[in-house]
A and B are shown apart, each in its own frame.
Chain A
Amino acid sequence: MVALIPYITLAWLVPAFPLVGFLITSLAKNKLKHNQAGIIASTMVALSFITSVFLFFILNSSGQDSATLTLFNWVSAGDLKIPFALLIDHLSLVMMLIITGIGALIHIYSIGYMRDDERVNSFFAQMNLFTFSMLLLVMGANYLILFIGWEGVGFCSYLLIGFWFKNPAFNYAARKAFVMNRIGDLGFILGIILLFFTFKSVSFNEVFSQAATLQSGAPILTLITLLLLVGAVGKSAQIPLFTWLPDAMAGPTPVSALIHAATMVTAGIYMIARSSILYNLAPITSNVMIILGLTTAIITAIVGLRQNDIKKVLAYSTVSQLGYMFLALGLGAYSAAIFHVTTHAFFKALLFLGAGSIIHAMGGEQDIRKMGGLRSKMPITFLTFLIATLAISGIPPFSGFFSKDLILTKAFEISPWLYALALGGALITCFYMFRLFYLVFFGNQRLSSAHPHESPRVMTVPLMVLSVLSLFGGFLNIPALFGGDSGFENFLHKAVTSKESGEISSATEVGLIIVSLSLLGIIIVLAYRTYVKKSTVPAADGAPSSLIARIVANKFYLDEIFAALIEKPFGRLSDFLFKSVEVKVLDSAVDGVGTLTSRLGSLVRRLQQGNISFYLFAMVAGILLFIIFILFV
């Protein structure tokens, strides 16, 4: 037993380190030499990782469930009292460890990756700010602090996606990410307002203790949870707001890794897991989440089949995996969702950093049709990428197997159909990941101009660390079936209230695992035969293809549907408002005020022409009126 209170005050250091790093690197960005900014930024994130680890052990040995650290009173107006407080419990600690741990590795990797960029100092400043915002998001003790971090994350992603702002397409991608997030944020902030309206508080503790007294399925709770869900859908890139995430590939590859693995997209999952008490009381919202998650997982997996840009494939796989997390959230298995967030953070960071290494080696080329035969040229990248691919496909004993199997089992408990659909999505994921893997590393090199080479040590060491994590991350939560104690889930149960679910027999469970594994094996062999034995290369962009293939390649025309349904009418409305309302009504009203003022001014100006006699008259008149007013009014 360790007393929690004296040590928990250190919690403010965790977000403070990246903030200090941001201040140093941004204020001194013209003074710092080439590698200094990266070293400072990485050190800061690593320091906050160490602090997080320290807090983790303190909390574990204290036996307490949570602790709140109030830094200062932020807002105090009438009923509204919002302290600037940090909440340390098992959930936020897991998120802090992911963010700072993975974030530190990505920062170190970036030192190598961004070495030749001229704005490298700004890059590290923005990365640190990004980490800071995300830490604030997961550590806040009320919805408003969470919202600050939420918005900060959105803003930093805008900066980083549009980091190479000289390319207009990249700017467009950044804007798209920002606007899509903004749509979600609108729902989120409405949800917070409604929360305050209902519970007269935005603090987690008070809201949850009051909400527990409400009846399950209360309409106000359903409305609140749906609004919060809109925010999560925007931030975590679910249908229909997912299209920004694949476009966010415009940013430098470490940024993609940071967005996909450690920060940003996990924010929505975290927020819903944090509000698990509310979501348990809103069965309608849970069903909506199941449908959303499953549709997203399958549709984006299908889209991923036809993508030829290495980063786009990974982006669609992220959206698909996020769909699984939403499925788990909808099923009430919040700790399973957070577990998948954790393992996904390991292997997705690894995949992206590996992809960055490949792109680096290929001299900026991102099209997998032009790669191939990199196995011998880049052995470390090859091995680590293999581990990550096996992990995301769900092959035991890699980490992805444990988390994905947990979600699939939960789905089977609800309905075999859900299980079948989710398994189908997983099989598709497996197929396109191996397609990517075979195309990149096997066969012959198809681009003659590039001279691939292994990346420097500063980039490969994070890869190796992450591959160890991807390999063994799953052992954090060994299910009872394999003689484990589900340690991760039990750890989180202190902070997150998962729904009780019916038990299924271990025989069924073993059967399910055998079915899924044999199907995965078939898929891998199939991919091997298609892309290695026959060395099929996907057709070029302009080549004729079937209707379905075209639909898939164009992401089901979702961008076009958005354009037709929302963008065009909105554009026309704006045009109408501009031409008739803005120009004719608002402009003339504003101009009228100006004209009136200047006319009045030139009228009154005549009073001020310096004529003393007139002044005297005015003065006497004033005195007269004053006396009359005093006496007779």
Chain B
Amino acid sequence: MKELSSAIQLIPLENYIFLSVALFSIGMMGVLFRRNTIAILMCLELMFNSVNLLLTAFSAYHSDPSGQVFVFFIMIVAAAEVAVGLSIVVMMKRNVDSIDINLLNRLKW
């Protein structure tokens, strides 16, 4: 554990920023790319987690536990979001027999 705990000092913070920016962009690209509603939800999870990673990195580099507590809260929100989102998907499948996001254009009414 001693080795691990000192590893952080070898890795510059920029690396974590680049990594999470890349992950966030990939997740966003997925949201735009996919039509499958479940896949879109998964891409959203990816974006959530990139933010979590960045928060944790800042928290560790600033020696401030608040960042990690916020990650905890984000997980709570994500869990709630997934529960509601997936139930919407279930209902959608039941009503229009598809999970194609473009069939949700009834939202315009």
Do A and B touch each other in the complex, judged by CB within 8 A? Answer: yes
Which residues of A lie under 8 Å from residue B35 when comparing CB positions? 613
B60 close to chain A: CB less than 8 A: no
Stretch at the interface among A152-160, A215-223, A604-612: A604-612
A629 close to chain B: CB less than 8 A: no
Which residues of B lie under 8 Å from residue A620 when comparing CB positions? 28, 32
Q: Is the CB of B105 within 8 A of A611?
A: yes
Which residues of B lie under 8 Å from residue A609 when comparing CB positions? 105, 108
Q: Is the CB of B106 within 8 A of A610?
A: yes
Q: Which of B28, B31, B105 contacts A610 (CB 8 A)?
A: B105
A613 to B109, CA, bound (A): 16
Which residues of B lie under 8 Å from residue A616 when comparing CB positions? 31-32
A616 to B107, CA, bound (A): 13
Chain A's nearest CB lies how many Å from the CB of B84? 16
Chain B's nearest CB lies how many Å from the CB of A615? 8
Chain B's nearest CB lies how many Å from the CB of A602? 15
B104 close to chain A: CB less than 8 A: yes
A617 close to chain B: CB less than 8 A: yes
Q: Is the CB of B31 within 8 A of A612?
A: no
A613 to B104, CA, bound (A): 10
Q: Which of A598-633 contact B (CB under 8 A)?
A: 608-613, 616-617, 620
> Chain A, 149-186, contact with B by CB distance < 8 Å: what is the 0/1 string?
00000000000000000000000000000000000000
A616 to B30, CA, bound (A): 11
Q: Which of B20-62 contact A (CB under 8 A)?
A: 28, 31-32, 35
A617 to B31, CA, bound (A): 9
B88 close to chain A: CB less than 8 A: no
Q: Is the interface of B mostly helix, strand, loop or mixed?
A: helix
Which residues of B lie under 8 Å from residue A608 when comparing CB positions? 108
A617 to B28, CA, bound (A): 10
Which residues of B lie under 8 Å from residue A610 when comparing CB positions? 104-109
B63 close to chain A: CB less than 8 A: no
Chain B's nearest CB lies how many Å from the CB of A622? 13
Question: Which A residue's beta carbon lies closest to that of B101?
Answer: A612
Chain B's nearest CB lies how many Å from the CB of A30? 49
Q: Which of B76-109 contact A (CB under 8 A)?
A: 101-102, 104-109
User: Which of A610, A617, A620 neighbours the largest number of chain B CB atoms within 10 Å of its CB?
Assistant: A610
Which residues of A lie under 8 Å from residue B106 when comparing CB positions? 610
A78 to B11, CA, bound (A): 69
Q: Is the CB of B32 within 8 A of A613?
A: yes
A620 to B106, CA, bound (A): 21
A616 to B28, CA, bound (A): 10
Which residues of A lie under 8 Å from residue B28 when comparing CB positions? 620
Chain B's nearest CB lies how many Å from the CB of A288? 73
Which residues of A lie under 8 Å from residue B104 when comparing CB positions? 610, 612
Question: Which A residue's beta carbon lies closest to that of B35?
Answer: A613
Chain B's nearest CB lies how many Å from the CB of A69? 64
Q: Is the CB of B108 within 8 A of A613?
A: no
A620 to B43, CA, bound (A): 15
A197 to B105, CA, bound (A): 64
A454 to B90, CA, bound (A): 98
A317 to B108, CA, bound (A): 77
A489 to B28, CA, bound (A): 96
> Chain A, 480-521, contact with B by CB distance < 8 Å: what is the 0/1 string?
000000000000000000000000000000000000000000
Q: Is the CB of B101 within 8 A of A613?
A: yes
A613 to B37, CA, bound (A): 11
Q: Is the CB of B32 within 8 A of A612?
A: no
A610 to B102, CA, bound (A): 8
Which residues of A lie under 8 Å from residue B105 when comparing CB positions? 609-612
A616 to B101, CA, bound (A): 11
Chain A's nearest CB lies how many Å from the CB of B26? 13
A609 to B28, CA, bound (A): 22
A272 to B12, CA, bound (A): 93
Q: Is the CB of B101 within 8 A of A617?
A: no
Chain A's nearest CB lies how many Å from the CB of B17? 15
Which residues of A lie under 8 Å from residue B101 when comparing CB positions? 612-613
User: Which of A608, A609, A613, A616 neighbours the largest number of chain B CB atoms within 10 Å of its CB?
Assistant: A613
Question: Which A residue's beta carbon lies closest to that of B109?
Answer: A610
Which residues of B lie under 8 Å from residue A617 when comparing CB positions? 32
A611 to B31, CA, bound (A): 14
Which residues of A lie under 8 Å from residue B108 when comparing CB positions? 608-610
A608 to B106, CA, bound (A): 11
Question: Which B residue's beta carbon lies closest to that of A617?
Answer: B32
Chain B's nearest CB lies how many Å from the CB of A330? 78
A364 to B84, CA, bound (A): 88
A612 to B99, CA, bound (A): 13
A620 to B47, CA, bound (A): 14
A617 to B29, CA, bound (A): 10
Which residues of A lie under 8 Å from residue B102 when comparing CB positions? 611-613
Which residues of B lie under 8 Å from residue A612 when comparing CB positions? 101-102, 104-105, 107
Question: Which A residue's beta carbon lies closest to that of B103?
Answer: A612
A616 to B31, CA, bound (A): 8
Chain A's nearest CB lies how many Å from the CB of B32? 6
A613 to B32, CA, bound (A): 7
Chain B's nearest CB lies how many Å from the CB of A618? 11
A596 to B109, CA, bound (A): 25
A290 to B22, CA, bound (A): 96
Chain B's nearest CB lies how many Å from the CB of A547? 83
A612 to B107, CA, bound (A): 8
Chain A's nearest CB lies how many Å from the CB of B88? 12
Chain B's nearest CB lies how many Å from the CB of A347? 80
Chain A's nearest CB lies how many Å from the CB of B106? 6
A611 to B108, CA, bound (A): 8
A617 to B105, CA, bound (A): 15
A233 to B102, CA, bound (A): 77
Q: Which of A446-505 contact B (CB under 8 A)?
A: none
A527 to B24, CA, bound (A): 113
A616 to B72, CA, bound (A): 27
A610 to B32, CA, bound (A): 15
Contacts A613-B102, A616-B32 supplied; 5 other A-B pairs, CB < 8 Å:
A610-B108, A610-B109, A611-B105, A612-B107, A620-B28
Q: List 12 A-B contacts (CB under 8 A).
A: A608-B108, A610-B105, A610-B109, A611-B102, A611-B105, A612-B102, A612-B105, A612-B107, A613-B35, A613-B101, A616-B31, A617-B32
- Chain B residues packing against A (C-beta within 8 Å): 28, 31-32, 35, 101-102, 104-109
9 closest cross-chain pairs (CB), A and B: A610-B108, A610-B105, A610-B107, A612-B101, A611-B105, A612-B104, A609-B108, A616-B32, A608-B108
